[in-house]
Structure 1
């Protein structure tokens, strides 16, 4: 890792951006944007519309887009039911994942996926090992644990119809705990999106109250005798679930199989890499690239 505090590094949760792009422009029983050959392009189009909007707004010097690899992850080794219960996505999205990755390669925008890891782990590793200001684009709550003096999380907030920016300065005001306590929060309250049950009967408000008083799940477990009888009993009955859920929520920030060299992620757009964009007839994206 080279020390360069002038770096502005955009780290994108590619799966979040793709699902956001696809479902924001998808109607199961209606029209879906497609090429004249009938190839669905709605998600691909919106993916790059949002990406270039981020690029133009944030002016990053470096970019990396992380994707989840197909198959099981190391977290499934710990908890086989991890992320069970999610409904299967429409077939139209899968071909667009392939197109997005192909276009990113053609444009020389760095991206990767690693079997056994989630996109979170790749983003986490680079956020901790690259130098400069890191900007993470995602609404995955797990990634909030990465917020620090040099790392912010950005996502589209429909309530304010603009980008929300989560920083080290405003985090506590918004979430009522510290970034490093996100895994403790999930250990207690769970996360239904990942099929993490946490401790049955402990809701978000109680979890926040306990974390603010005791600091961590481990300290809470050491102070069961100081809790109210009802809360103490709930935790005693579900200790193992709480411990496992916290462990699953911790992002791996030291993935060995990915480069941690700043130079490997420099943003140098190849404007000639438009083959797939032309085939898909994504003319608006082509115009944006031409004007970049």
Structure 2
């Protein structure tokens, strides 16, 4: 019996990517009702191109549910460097979910968690019996790579992908996908606004992980580090431990989705009706 192939879609990553690819030139595709639709249109194009490429049996879209998550409770400055979303994008947050609903794709999210956490939770749930593909532009999700879990990274344009499996990641990085959490804990993340260990970059962090295996082992053996490295860790001991919590995708969010409700079998007439309502063009050829 052929395994299910489940496509978990990082909705926020696709939506933001689609928005900024056209917004930089001021092209917002405002329809006759005055509603900008560029992000939703691009999202749908990314999604349909991916489903045509990977032929999933099931599709689920995962979303952030507000900007405040448990990570903000752990660290007040988490993502504090990010401004409010552009006004042209705001009405498209709800609109995109209307479109996925019209495509019979379940929308999944949990207040207090990020889309990544929902994806990790669902990937763990399905990977025992299904092949899981995660569609995203966010390399942080590479930590979820596992047997039966693959990550499809969007590249520039449409239909261009970098497909990762766990073995490829280990061959390239020399560490396991799970160790990526501790790599990020040491390096920090400027996008998410946490510093890790100041002065420790990817090259040094990778070297230490390969030598010691885990962050705990590194911290237990600070005397074996160079004097400069030891000083950096000692100055940021609390932060590196906190950064590990911030970097790890939480795979126990309170989300679930019965796969019977996620079978990818669009009603073309219903979808085309929604596209016409939004005044979308050039999508009928890929649906």
Query: Structure 1 length as normaliser, TM-score?
Result: 0.91
Q: Give the secondary structure class of the aligned counterpart of 1:192.
A: coil
User: Alignment partner for residue 118 of structure 2, among 119, 122, 125?
Assistant: 122
Q: Give the secondary structure class of the aligned counterpart of 1:11.
A: strand
User: 2: CA distance between counterparts of 1:208 and 1:41?
Assistant: 42
**1:279 maps onto 2:260 in alignment:** no
- Return 239-248 or 279-288, whichever deviates more: 279-288
Query: How many residue pairs are counted as aligned between the two chains?
Result: 284
User: 2: CA distance between counterparts of 1:52 and 1:212?
Assistant: 40
Deviations 1:53-90 (A, max 9, x none): 00000000011110100141111111121111013321
User: Alignment partner for residue 73 of structure 2, among 77, 82, 91?
Assistant: 77
| Distance apart, 1:41 and its partner CA | 1.4
Deviations 1:151-189 (A, max 9, x none): 111112349x82101111210233332100111011100
User: 2: CA distance between counterparts of 1:36 and 1:10?
Assistant: 33
Determine the structure 1 residue equivalent to 2:163.
Answer: 165
Computed over aligned residues only, the root mean square deviation of the Cα atoms, in angstroms, reads 2.0
**1:8 maps onto 2:2 in alignment:** no
Unaligned ranges ≥5, structure 1? none
**1:64 maps onto 2:60 in alignment:** yes
**1:263 maps onto 2:257 in alignment:** no
User: 1: CA distance between counterparts of 2:181 and 2:140?
Assistant: 8
Determine the structure 2 residue equivalent to 1:44.
Answer: 40
Unaligned ranges ≥5, structure 2? none
Query: Structure 2 length as normaliser, TM-score?
Result: 0.93
Q: Give the secondary structure class of the aligned counterpart of 1:133.
A: strand
> For the Cα contact (< 8 Å) 1:104–1:111, is it kept in 2?
yes
User: 2: CA distance between counterparts of 1:116 and 1:128?
Assistant: 19
User: 1: CA distance between counterparts of 2:2 and 2:211?
Assistant: 36
User: 2: CA distance between counterparts of 1:120 and 1:183?
Assistant: 13
User: Alignment partner for residue 24 of structure 1, among 9, 21, 26?
Assistant: 21
| Distance apart, 1:40 and its partner CA | 1.2
Q: Give the secondary structure class of the aligned counterpart of 1:80.
A: coil
User: 2: CA distance between counterparts of 1:54 and 1:287?
Assistant: 14
User: Alignment partner for residue 91 of structure 1, among 84, 87, 108?
Assistant: 87
Determine the structure 2 residue equivalent to 1:241.
Answer: 239
Determine the structure 2 residue equivalent to 1:108.
Answer: 104
User: 1: CA distance between counterparts of 2:244 and 2:187?
Assistant: 10
User: 1: CA distance between counterparts of 2:15 and 2:63?
Assistant: 10
| Distance apart, 1:142 and its partner CA | 2.3
Deviations 1:31-61 (A, max 9, x none): 4322233321111111111100000000000
User: 1: CA distance between counterparts of 2:144 and 2:34?
Assistant: 41
